[in-house]
Structure 1
Amino acid sequence: MQDLSRSDTFHAYQVVPRPVSMIIVEHAPEPSLIVPSHSHPKAQLAVAVKGIFSLHTAEGAWLVPPNRAVWVPGGVVHEMHARGQAVSNRSLYIQPDASPGLPTDCRVIELSPLMRQLILEATQIPLLYDENGRDGRVMRLILDEICAAPKMPLHIPMPRDPRLLKICRALLADPGQGGDLDDWARIGALGRRTLTRLFRQETGITLTLWLQQVRLMEALTRLSLGQPVTTVALDLGYDSPSAFTAMFRRVMGKTPRHYLGRQDAALD
């Protein structure tokens, strides 16, 4: 078998005969596209250490803030984009049958304090670790933590209907624009009732909730770049910073300051 100890390409890690392997990757902030469209047989858990990045597939986009991770099942074609700053991540590649409880869809997950410590420990474990020894037990515990991790609402599903896509692209270009369902229906040249029915049918959620997700993900990106809460809230169409903070706490379980704070154990 080839020497993988110094490899820094994800291709090499697909052939490691272990249920879990890890690669550490550093990306410059430009260009935005940091990992072009590709797929791989093993599943991937990409952990954001520094910076914030997004995962894109044909089904939608997922935002990954620092100290969180995105799960990508094996075989899913995807690409990753930096969001305005340098990105550092840890990627774990996992055999699809490593554990029966592993997710079957793309998702952003919250990392428990235990999981963050396990990932730090895994960076010191050799690729060809002893599966029956202490290192193997660490890797199996990582699998358990992935299976138990809560799913985070940082996903924007994308419709396929061209009329709906026209509406979504307009809102993605300017998430803070005003308007209601009638205004958005006019953009897509369809009726309000048709818009409501078709959008839920194709994405699984309402357009109102979809726009909330878009604004939340845009807010996280801007806040991670140091923009003030007041500026972000008003730019994204909220009546006041308190209204934005209330939405953020309702969806994320924490205020913006606490969510992006450094109270979490760092992974670098």
Structure 2
Amino acid sequence: MTPTNPLDADPGLVDWPGAPALIVGIGRGDTRRVSSPHAHGRGQLFGSARGLLTVGVEEAVWVVPSIHAVWLPPHHRHWAASHGPFEGWSAYVAEDLCADLPAAACTIRTSGLLREAVLRAAHWTPQRHVPLIPPHERIAQVILDEIRTLPPEPLGLPMPRDARLLRIARALVEDPAQARDLEAWAAWGAVSARTVSRRFVSETGFTFTAWRQRARLMRSLEMLAAGQPVGTIALDLGYATASAFIGVFREAFGVTPGIYRERLVGAA
């Protein structure tokens, strides 16, 4: 009864009556894996041991490298997709144990302790109406303590709430290289340029230009994880030159794209 694909585990599998307090699943794949929007009755912590994830919730889209994990409270609607070769894990927490865990979806930086506890728990065989034995219970408490105490990481792309702006934002997430300027996007979305400019700031905390830049950088992380050359990424995302892309990337992440990819591979 342990899920084998953490990205699209059947809610009926992880929420079955009498299931133990914690269920952990491990999944692998050599191709892109995608889960459609869904929710679980349990809280869910998931991440990758190798590769990159894109995770969407109602209020944001996150690109999550292997050094981070995503926490979702119970009944929180979400979708996820992997990029390239992938090894991932999920820990599903019974709803009654989530009261003192984060109340909002967030990303956290994983610790060595959390990773080892999750890998240990992945070898358990959950049984209906059979509680965790004391050694397993102690490992489960370690996982809960790590979720409770690890600091959230400000990683992601906040989405606007206004339906017209959300349509524009989703189009940019799908293809962040599109060359339309603010006025052209406003016309495409049947909204005034002034409204787009004002509401992007009030609803996302970013100007439209900064938000679009962030969308491009989030996509660049996916492309780096897939092994694409830096020059190809720059051109595909609409930058005039590779050096322009490298400069923007370094300003945002503190390192060049090449160094970031080396660290991503090393963390995996």
TM-score (norm 1): 0.78
Letter in 2 for 1:263: G
> How far did 1:91 drift?
0.7
- Deviations, residues 218-255 of structure 1 (Å, cap 9, x unaligned): 10111111112232234323455454344434444554
Residue of structure 1 equivalent to 2:107:
108
How many residues in Structure 1 have an aligned counterpart in Structure 2? 256
The structural deviation recorded for 1:172 is 3.0
8 Å Cα contact 1:38-1:77 kept in structure 2: yes
2:76 is matched with 76
The answer to whether the 8 Å contact 1:40/1:75 transfers is yes
Aligned residue for 1:161? 162
Query: CA 1:104/1:248 → structure 2, altered by over 3 Å: closer, same or farther?
Result: farther
What is the deviation of 1:162?
4.2
- The change in CA–CA distance for 1:99 and 1:188 in structure 2 (over 3 A counts) is closer
Aligned to 1:53: 53
For structure 1, which runs of at least 5 residues remain unmatched after alignment?
A: none
What is the CA-CA distance between 1:22 and the residue it aligns to? 0.3
Per the alignment, in what secondary structure is the counterpart of residue 206 of structure 2?
Answer: coil
**Secondary structure of the structure 2 residue equivalent to 1:144:** helix
Distance in 2 between residues matched to 1:13 and 1:170, nearest whole Å: 33
Partner of 2:44: 44
Q: Structure 1 residues 192 and 224, CA, compared in 2 at 3 Å: closer, same or farther?
A: same
Report if aligned partners of 1:122, 1:138 keep a CA contact under 8 Å in 2: yes
In 2, distance between residues paired with 1:147 and 1:259? 28
Instruction: Determine the C-alpha separation between the residues in 2 that align with 1:185 and 1:199.
Output: 12
Query: Which residue number in structure 1 is paired with residue 238 of structure 2?
Result: 237
Match of residue 138 from structure 1: 139
Cα distance, 1:71 vs structure 2: 1.8
Change in CA separation of 1:164 and 1:44 when aligned onto 2, cut-off 3 Å: same
In structure 2, runs of 5+ residues without a counterpart are none
Please tell me whether the aligned partners of residues 72 and 107 of structure 1 are also in contact (alpha carbons under 8 angstroms). Answer: yes
Deviation digits for residues 12-67 of structure 1 (CA, Å, limit 9, x no counterpart): 3324654432012235636x6x3233211101112113333322334342223334
What's the CA shift for 1:160?
4.4
Conserved 8 A contact 2:21-2:132:
no
Percent identity, aligned pairs only, is: 36
Matched residue, 2:25: 23
Q: 1:141 to 1:244 in 2, by over 3 A?
A: farther
* Amino acid in structure 2 at the alignment position of 1:119: V
Q: Map of 1:239-258 to 2, 5 A cutoff?
A: 239-258=240-259
Question: Could you tell me which residue of structure 1 aligns to residue 223 of structure 2?
Answer: 222
Change (3 A) 1:7 1:176: closer
Q: RMSD of aligned C-alpha atoms?
A: 3.0
